[in-house]
Chains A and B, each alone.
Chain A
């Protein structure tokens, strides 16, 4: 199995001189193709920074990041945008839907620009929102909005789905539902998904877990048999 993501000696420093803050320090790891990865850590540990760099929203100060054969450490802004456009789906804690577009239109917003996009309506049906296609975000619950956000990310048919605290603003049951969607994406399509969370209790659902403390990888573990989200309790 070839390595889908290779990160080598990644360091990310914000600011300079005395004010410099190091978010990631000499991080190295590899992620094989088709994995659901969870990056877990306390807030401020540097996990989100890592995710942003993997998603081409930020660049490393030093070190090498290669995703799907593309070297992100030396990419231009334009190349990073194309990378996001074609390969990446993002899900955030706050759903960031465009308020003036209906659920299906929010998904279209993404599918319109991706080359191998999935059908927006089918995608929404797959996340269980077949009945709410034409509702505006304000008319949807938090969980429904997050599902639209996931549909929007998936509809681009990305190689990599990146989720930053996707359940942070949701209640327990809804959160579970959302995690299930992400897990299904990785396991059913054979693509990669990475979830960043501070909740260590969901680790068993992943194939691969990276624990980050103070910007460094403290522990890396693999689950040969990840459990289904339904059976998890936290």
Chain B
């Protein structure tokens, strides 16, 4: 019976104050939603990726060899104690209607492919294409592959015509575009394909997929990534040794041939001198001489042979991009939602406290009737717990489903991963739920406990209204006297409820800060692209060629003299790497050694990161780009250590730090190059700026270059642009959600605090009505306070937003990118307008509420 009545009382209470009940539930729900959502998304994304890696048994590392692995190589790798599994396969890059495609021998155990439609190729002339081309080709169609140039035979393949048997996907190629670099076409792979082993001419494999024995942990975890990196560092010298053996063997073969050739040549020359002119012999001599010349260049390329080993992060563009994306969300989840949650909790706390204070007499009545203390607070407890549970359950549900899905969808627009594997992260939900519940209980306890200690009789009397007091401002008589009466009243009232004043200020400030941050994140990221490609990078592509090639001159002619070329500059470039203990992945750095500094500066502006003044390339020392300096904590004069592709470490002195927002560069002069590498400076690339900078023109130029036989690869400067734009699309979606959530928070915070303010002062407002205040005067009497608090809150929010934005923009960009920390005035304006709009909305709603106040009821009753 008792319980029934108590429940009935609670139910009535709830029905009578639905607005407040839902305010609390929405506040807690929003807080839980944002925190659970952002905390779940990163792990969910990784889990989804990991399950695909496990399903297809993605290899820990790949070793490649330009000349293939000999039987002895294979045996030696297999016998390494750290190698758990190694599978050898074939690969070659081809062109399909101008698109670069990597053709692999169908992998059987490591990095297997999943058939999406059709079946795997069985016959030598069958092929299965990656799903990237699913829309372009169909099963059963016959395709013709090209090599380096149109109508040339692809390297290593026995034939050019293949029948498409199906479409496959592979966790080695998870991106939809730019699957990796290649020497063909535009320098980026469009897709991959698998063919039976027999389709390759040579049976010497040139690709080894490796799983390591001692490596534990899930993909993307520190244990795993560090483990693999460690194994790679361990095994690299061994591979260098194998490569050296191979080089020596190949060299001695060539030397043998050269020796034979030379002997033959001497013989022929002698014969010729003896026998006089013989056209046939002349021909033979010419051929021999040509052979000898090509042997010399062969020797050059043999010397360049290495067996590089790459971890997933380095051989698999999708793997590292997915990891980086998930990490972005993780980073965001460590700052934004915590701020958010704190505001929600704070405001709930005030509301709940107020509710209990309002129900003081009711508590007294219960106590007087002989109900126990716990029974007296039963209705608040039930009310509070109900709203907390409702908020947490809805917030956690949407946070575990809607938010991760929305973010994942945005992020994986460019990926081929399957649908998101949603998981319930009970830890986060538990903590958020407990915090929400704890906030409610603490509010009830802090408000009800002191009251319950009083005698029931006292409790039933109205709590003496909070006494007025003078405020500090009144001491400043000059100012105080100039205030109108109503402004004095407002000033006094502002300081009357200090708790609520602070709460409103911090609530509004936090919401404004969140809005500014959310808008700022979007703008700062967009700004990366603008500044990078307007002020810093002016070249469109870098064409890398083989300086030893006999077709070098032809290549240079194309790179410098083509009609589309505006300017072209020679330089030496190579990709080097660096890593320190705090970084998960190797940082890939472009080493740039310009031939002519003057020309180079027209292609790439080296501006001081701090003063924006033009930097000159020093005689000694190097210039590193800003983000690299930041990651490795480099200052001018520090020593920086990087590794070449073969794992050899070099130490250089930092002479300057240059502004750069995307990617890492390390620039040095030819003199320094000779000193550091102990090698002659030979340019191997052309940095090219085109007259027409549309991406179609750039692609066309890239294809022209890769068709050259001297071509190694091309790098388009907008590859990086496309990458950041992918990241941006993802983040924009996240930010949009954050903006909406922050807006709702701002509204609910303003509404709740105004609601509390109004309901706590109903008697006062009724008095004003009786005295004959017109409705708008009554409204203003209370709204003046809200307006002032909101305005001051907005100003505080500016400062707070500036700080939060700077913090997030320092940690948010991927390791290879950097954002400008400055905020646009528009960020402040839009955030202000949104907040003011909510203020007006709240005032309209509350004005109705105030109009409904029954002045007689309020004035004639005791409480």
Contacts and interface: CB of A to CB of B under 8 A. Distances in A.
Contact of B467 (A84, A113, A138, A156): A138
Contacts of A114: 772
A164 B766 CA distance: 16
B472 to A, nearest CB: 15
B467 A105 contact: no
Given A100-B492, A101-B489, A113 B464 contact: no
Bin chain B's interface residue count: 20 to 34
B489 A105 contact: yes
A225 interface: no
Contact of B860 (A55, A82, A84, A93): A93
A164 B468 contact: no
Contacts of B469: 136
Contact of B859 (A92, A99, A102): A92
Contacts of B763: 96
Contacts of A78: 774
Given A57-B855, A94-B859, A94-B860, A88 B772 contact: yes
A48 interface: yes
Contacts of B468: 99-102, 136-138
Interface string A121-140: 00000000000000011110
Interface in A137-159: 137-139, 152, 156
A82 B465 contact: no
B485 A112 contact: yes
B480 interface: no
Contacts of A152: 771
A136 B770 contact: no
B860 A113 contact: no
A99 B466 contact: yes
B177 interface: no
B773 interface: yes
| Interface core residue of B488, B769, B777, B859 (most chain A CB under 10 Å) | B859
A94 B772 contact: no
Contacts of B764: 98-99
Contact of A108 (B485, B493, B769, B856): B485
Contacts of B466: 99-100
Contact of A48 (B467, B489, B860): B860
B770 A113 contact: no
Contacts of B485: 105, 108-109, 112
A185 interface: no
B467 A86 contact: no
B489 A57 contact: no
A78 B496 CA distance: 31
A82 B467 contact: no
Contacts of A55: 770
B489 A86 contact: no
Contact of A101 (B492, B769, B770, B859): B492
A81 B774 contact: yes
A108 B465 CA distance: 20
A58 interface: yes
Contacts of B777: 113
Interface in A168-225: none
B774 A138 contact: no
Given A48-B860, A113-B777, A138-B465, A100 B496 contact: yes
Interface string A62-88: 000000000000000010011111101
B862 interface: yes
B527 interface: no
A52 interface: yes
Interface in B826-863: 855-856, 859-860, 862
Contacts of B860: 48, 92-94, 164
A73 B585 CA distance: 84
Interface string A41-62: 0000000100010010110000
A35 to B, nearest CB: 23
A7 interface: no
B465, B486, B493, B770: residue with the most chain A Cβ atoms closer than 10 Å: B770
Interface in B83-120: none
A215 B186 CA distance: 97
B149 interface: no
Nearest to B863: A94
A40 interface: no
A108 B768 CA distance: 12
Nearest to A134: B470
A92 B859 CA distance: 8
A39 interface: no
Nearest to A85: B772
Interface in B751-785: 763-764, 766-775, 777
Interface residues of A, number: 38
Given A108-B485, A138-B464, A58 B770 contact: no
B772 A86 contact: yes
A5 interface: no
Interface string B489-506: 100110010000000000
Contact of A100 (B493, B771, B855): B493
Contacts of A85: 771-774
A96 B859 contact: yes
A159 B327 CA distance: 75
A90 interface: yes
Nearest to A152: B771
Contacts of A101: 468, 489, 492
Contacts of A105: 485, 488-489
Given A136-B467, A136-B468, A98 B767 contact: yes
A229 interface: no
A113 B772 contact: yes
Contacts of A118: none
Contacts of A110: 771
A119 to B, nearest CB: 14
Nearest to A165: B860
Interface string B452-486: 00000000000011111100000000000000011
Contact of B772 (A81, A92, A98, A139): A81
A171 to B, nearest CB: 17
B479 to A, nearest CB: 17
Nearest to B489: A101
Nearest to B778: A81
A217 B741 CA distance: 62
B771 A99 contact: no
Contact of B770 (A82, A90, A100, A138): A90
Nearest to A106: B767
Nearest to A82: B772
B467 A58 contact: no
Q: Which of A58, A112, A114 has the most CB of B within 10 A?
A: A112
B767 A96 contact: yes
A139 B856 contact: no
Given A81-B774, A109-B771, A136-B468, A94 B856 contact: no
A70 B770 CA distance: 18
B762 to A, nearest CB: 11
B357 to A, nearest CB: 15
Nearest to A84: B772
Contacts of B493: 100
Contacts of B492: 100-101
A96 B761 CA distance: 11
A12 B704 CA distance: 97
Nearest to B763: A96
A12 to B, nearest CB: 12
B467 A99 contact: yes
Contacts of A138: 464-465, 467-468
Across chains A and B, which 6 residue pairs bring their CB atoms closest together, nearest first?
Answer: A85-B772, A138-B467, A84-B772, A100-B468, A136-B468, A99-B465
10 contacts: A57-B855, A57-B856, A84-B772, A88-B772, A94-B859, A96-B767, A100-B496, A101-B468, A137-B465, A138-B465
Given A98-B489, A101-B489, 14 more contacts: A81-B774, A84-B770, A84-B771, A90-B770, A90-B771, A94-B859, A94-B862, A96-B767, A99-B468, A99-B764, A100-B468, A105-B488, A113-B772, A113-B777
